[in-house]
Structure 1
């Protein structure tokens, strides 16, 4: 059996390497390494024209929406909180189009951190613009326990409560249409969401690429195979 091709979205930020400093499509190496460790082939998907999203998704076996900047509050009908970061409008437009295309085509989809939040927004949900206690400080990953909801797709991948690497200050508020919460933190924060029914769409609020547990990504890769 051939390895499934998993597209992973990227940042679009200024970057410096060697003698160069230019706008760059960036992806922490931990993302493709997690895809590879789970048995997939990783392909980077830098922001593009939203109108080509369906064509891109048609060439993929699975899709990962990576972490990054806060989703612009206008996307879910809210005023910006002073603590909300600057918008990444090009990413928002591109990744929302990819999510729509993947859900329409039935392509397995995994949202990580921002990606989970964007999945919720894509389906009409809203976000809490600030929560405390889910980082280890500026630029430092924290850790906390996540408990699965029995009977969910997430629980079929990870049955027990686990300690996960976390770095976020926003979270799911009202769930989008067709989504259910499938894991919670001890403080009640929604830590995983999934689409009910046969289509494989899962979001996790933490960063599995920063840990050693490959089970969530293996679930995506298996669904994409």
Structure 2
């Protein structure tokens, strides 16, 4: 995990578009100095089965620009963000207050989501990453 933490921090430093999914969001948060709740109930289906719950975007966030309305997401997680890492903000939450998406301030397209957008039918988060990567085109930050 030390290598993954360093890699996540370096990707952010380089300006590369980044989408952290589930553990990837948690890793991004920890790489930037945040902490995790070690066990969370109610965010899975039956054992080994994805559940679904609603997430609400924070107005003005990068996530809200991609998905502006409350939406159901496919989820299977038992950990979540406790304290945010340096420079991160909440960009979506579940009804119970669980942090469901995080992002840093600024123009760089970095988004962490607690759920699995690749498992659902709504492709807007994945499309947002692809569009950001195409616009970035491999240029280095700075």
Fold agreement, TM-score > 0.5: yes
Q: Does 1:224 align with 2:133?
A: yes
The 5-angstrom pairing of residues 3-42 of structure 1 reads none
Instruction: Provide the rounded CA distance (Å) in 2 between the counterparts of 1:167 and 1:134.
Output: 6
Task: Provide the aligned C-alpha RMSD in A.
Answer: 0.8
Q: CA deviation at 1:172?
A: 0.2
Structure 2: give runs of 5+ residues left out of the alignment: 135-142
Q: Does 1:107 align with 2:30?
A: no
The 5-angstrom pairing of residues 113-192 of structure 1 reads 113-192=22-101
Q: Which has the higher contact order (CA 8 A, sep 6+)?
A: 2
Greater Cα shift, 99-108 or 178-187: 99-108
Query: TM-score normalized by structure 2?
Result: 0.92
Q: CA deviation at 1:138?
A: 1.3
The 5-angstrom pairing of residues 74-89 of structure 1 reads none
Q: CA deviation at 1:131?
A: 0.8
Instruction: Provide the rounded CA distance (Å) in 2 between the counterparts of 1:176 and 1:128.
Output: 13
Q: CA deviation at 1:93?
A: 2.7
Q: Does 1:213 align with 2:122?
A: yes
Q: CA deviation at 1:94?
A: 3.1
Instruction: Provide the rounded CA distance (Å) in 2 between the counterparts of 1:199 and 1:181.
Output: 16
**1:34 alignment partner in structure 2:** none
Instruction: Provide the rounded CA distance (Å) in 1 between the counterparts of 2:57 and 2:79.
Output: 20
Larger radius of gyration: 1
What SS does structure 1 have at the residue aligned with 2:53?
strand
Q: CA deviation at 1:145?
A: 0.4
Instruction: Provide the rounded CA distance (Å) in 1 between the counterparts of 2:109 and 2:69.
Output: 21
Instruction: Provide the rounded CA distance (Å) in 1 between the counterparts of 2:116 and 2:3.
Output: 21
